[in-house]
Amino acid sequence: MSAFSLPATFRVKQRASKLFVMPRIRALDAAQPFDYEARIMEAHEKSSKLKIGIVGFGNYGQFLAKALIRQGHTVLAHSRSDYSDIAVKIGVSFFRDPHDLCEEHPEVILLCTSIISTESVLRSLPTQRLKRNTLFVDVLSVKEFPRNLFLQILPQEFDVLCTHPMFGPESGKDGWKGLPFVYEKVRIGSDEYKEDRCQKFLDIFAKEGCRMVEMSCSEHDRHAAESQFITHTVGRMLGKLELQSTPINTKGYETLLNLVENTSGDSFDLYYGLFMYNVNSTGQIERLDAAFDSLKRQLYGHLHDILRKQLFGNGKGSENLQRLAPPAVSRNGYGQEATACEVKQ
């Protein structure tokens, strides 16, 4: 029977109503197939919803919870701090005690804690109170670290999905369309229920229009160190300069101001986690350092050339010194009148 075909008793009833019943009742009958379809649709909708327990209900946990609620999922939460009031406003059931949250048997535990607290939070979670086949998902901005932690700490029966929605409350404030969502199905049981549950979770982000990218955790960390860590580092460096908007902002300067705004909202714990828990980050900070040094050498090198021209270019009493000048200066014909503008050439 196809999803919307009618059961035999219903068809008989319909035929009978066509033959014998008054027009008023026929109209009532005509409405029933639609009612039946609506009920099937409703049952389908219900079955696509998940009961999700968020652990770590800070900035990012709340941001995700709003989307989950909007999509009709049941959301529970637990955090170190008491977020009961905020939870009520969003439509989330908040549990101060993690035991109580686990006893509600969410199908998915969504870990949204800071990177640096993840291990202690995971170890202190009373996983024995959960159903034996719960799906664990994380959203940490580094990926190999939680992957290894999950495999090491969680019982074998639990499924593991490592994800990184590569946007936050600032970059995703106008919707998530086209924004990358990276994931690796680290350990998903092969039975239909488990595969289906994992897919339902991924569909949450697909429905919002995210660009779904399946990628290994180690590959993610390699790319993220080159892109995300560099972005956060440059944003934080510029933040320390306390740049101000001016009446003559260029497009490039506006981009820098946006970068500062985009990265300054994130906690230092998050930034430190990107550095400490991604093996590729140290190399990137060294590269940044070397690149800045090389640029400075380039600039000061030009400056020295100009100073030398001024020192040696005028002849008077400087013939001897001139002989000591580097060949580049005498060959390139810079004269006494050389100006800073010539650095551009």
Which residues of the shown chain bind ligand NAP in the complex (CB under 6 A)? 56-61, 79-81, 112-115, 117, 121, 139-141, 165, 168, 266-267, 269-270, 273
Minimal distance, residue 57 CB to ligand NAP, in Å = 6
- Virtual torsion, Cα 215, 219, 220, 225, nearest 10 deg: -170
Give the whole-angstrom CA distance, residue 63 versus residue 59. 6
Minimal distance, residue 240 CB to ligand NAP, in Å = 19
Tokens of 96: 């101060």
Sign of CA dihedral 163, 168, 169, 171: negative
In the bound state with ligand NAP, the residue whose beta carbon lies nearer, of 29 and 226, is: 226
In the bound state with ligand NAP, the residue whose beta carbon lies nearer, of 61 and 313, is: 61
Residue 198 DSSP SS3: helix
Give the whole-angstrom CA distance, residue 28 versus residue 31. 5
In the bound state with ligand NAP, the residue whose beta carbon lies nearer, of 134 and 141, is: 141
In the bound state with ligand NAP, the residue whose beta carbon lies nearer, of 80 and 129, is: 80
Minimal distance, residue 60 CB to ligand NAP, in Å = 3
> What's the residue count for the chain?
345
In the bound state with ligand NAP, the residue whose beta carbon lies nearer, of 276 and 325, is: 276
For helices 230-240 and 251-264, what crossing angle results, to 10°?
A: 100
Minimal distance, residue 179 CB to ligand NAP, in Å = 10
Minimal distance, residue 286 CB to ligand NAP, in Å = 23
Minimal distance, residue 216 CB to ligand NAP, in Å = 18
Question: Containing H/E element for 159?
Answer: strand 159-165
In the bound state with ligand NAP, the residue whose beta carbon lies nearer, of 77 and 338, is: 77
Report the Cα–Cα distance between both ends of the chain, in Å, rounded.
Answer: 78
Give the whole-angstrom CA distance, residue 266 versus residue 169. 9
Minimal distance, residue 160 CB to ligand NAP, in Å = 16
Residue 210 near residue 181 (C-beta atoms within 8 A):
yes
In the bound state with ligand NAP, the residue whose beta carbon lies nearer, of 83 and 334, is: 83
Minimal distance, residue 121 CB to ligand NAP, in Å = 5
Give the whole-angstrom CA distance, residue 24 versus residue 31. 11
Residue 220 near residue 143 (C-beta atoms within 8 A):
yes
- List, in sequence order, every residue forming a beta bridge with 279; answer none if it has no partner: none
Please tell me what DSSP assigns to residue 147: H
Residue 318 near residue 311 (C-beta atoms within 8 A):
yes
Closest to 245 in 3D by CA, of 232, 258, 230: 258
